[in-house]
Structure 1
Amino acid sequence: MKVELFVSKDLEEPYAKIYTDVLTDNIQKAMALLEDNENVRENEERINENNSILAVKKGQNIVLLDFEDIFMIRVEDKQTKVFTEDMDYLVKKPLYQIEENLDSNFVRVSKSTIVNLRKIKRVAPSLKGMMFIELKNGLKDNISRKYLHDFKNALNL
């Protein structure tokens, strides 16, 4: 999806036009979010308050992901990637900025990884006091000792 932004002081109120050949669920969500508010700034605040949607990129397309669809967010090769059940997406924000807007179902397990607690398949001991985590979609990572206490607290252990 190609996105263009025009800023003009001549406008009385912001408006958006969306051109598409197929009306997808994500486009309908975007339209609903834009129509629900008087301006884009209020819309961004509402998204952050609700903690329910994350805008990500796949190629030229912008996709709005529900938090419940996110399995893991991880920094790889200096890029922040968001993993769902069978796809991965890019997001331009650094991990700490994304973490600020996530709900309590997400917990940081290492310097470079945040996981959705609802998507965990198993947790097992690993090397040197670390724990190993496997998600329901097959993704694996280590829980570092630094974040192990917070992880256990998030699981009420």
Structure 2
Amino acid sequence: MKVECKISPDYKEPYAVLYINRMTHGIAGIISLLEKEEMDSLTLIGAKEKKAFFLKPEEIVLVRTEGREIVCYDKLKNRYMLDKPLYELENILDIQFVRISKSSIINIHQINHVEAGFNGTMEVVMKNGVTDYISRNFRKVFKERLGLK
């Protein structure tokens, strides 16, 4: 891959353009790293009632797939549609978020409580009342992130 970097005080903020013939996991990772560079000013855009809302990560309680849509819930239980895939959101969101299943990511600072569920799952109830399940495959990582054994 050829890489070109131009440095000038005339540039107000970094801007990258990639010319690719197909998306690969490596390129997706590079894009995620570049986007993380702007983490302090990270704001997601969520759609609700044909309006665009700017959401800061600390306002987000849960992100998950619902059917074919990627949605998030905020502290007031408002539901927004997002335009980024879940794997990309997982890479963008910071350390306060943890993946709990193939289809959900939660803000660990917004957990109200966790209960044992069926088939080795655990139900997590968020402070805003939204519930989801921590699958067996993600339980170990979840417990480690909370400092549990």
Change (3 A) 1:78 1:125: same
Change (3 A) 1:91 1:47: farther
Q: Which residue number corresponds to residue 117 of structure 2? A: 126
Distance apart, 1:100 and its partner CA: 0.5
Contact 1:51 1:67 in 2 (8 A): no
Contact 1:120 1:136 in 2 (8 A): yes
Contact 1:54 1:67 in 2 (8 A): yes
Give the Cα separation in 1 of the matches to 2:38 and 2:102: 23
How does 1:18-33 map onto structure 2 within 5 Å? none
Aligned residue pair count: 120
Give the Cα separation in 1 of the matches to 2:88 and 2:41: 13
Give the Cα separation in 1 of the matches to 2:12 and 2:147: 41
**Is 2:34 the counterpart of 1:60?**
no
Letter in 2 for 1:73: V
Change (3 A) 1:40 1:65: farther
Distance apart, 1:49 and its partner CA: 3.0
Q: What runs of 5+ residues in structure 2 fail to find an aligned partner?
A: 1-10, 17-33
Give the Cα separation in 2 of the matches to 1:45 and 1:141: 28
The RMSD of aligned alpha carbons is: 2.1
Give the Cα separation in 1 of the matches to 2:116 and 2:83: 33
How does 1:117-156 map onto structure 2 within 5 Å? 117-156=108-147
* SS state at 2:46 partner: strand
Q: What runs of 5+ residues in structure 1 fail to find an aligned partner?
A: 1-36
Give the Cα separation in 2 of the matches to 1:67 and 1:77: 23
Q: Which residue number corresponds to residue 12 of structure 2? A: 38
**Is 2:110 the counterpart of 1:110?**
no
Letter in 1 for 2:64: R
Change (3 A) 1:117 1:51: farther
Change (3 A) 1:106 1:45: closer
Letter in 1 for 2:65: V
Q: Show CA shifts across 1:120-143 (max 9, x none).
A: 000011111111100011111110
Give me the TM-score of the superposition, normalised by structure 1: 0.69
* SS state at 2:80 partner: strand
Match of 2:40 among 29, 47, 50: 50
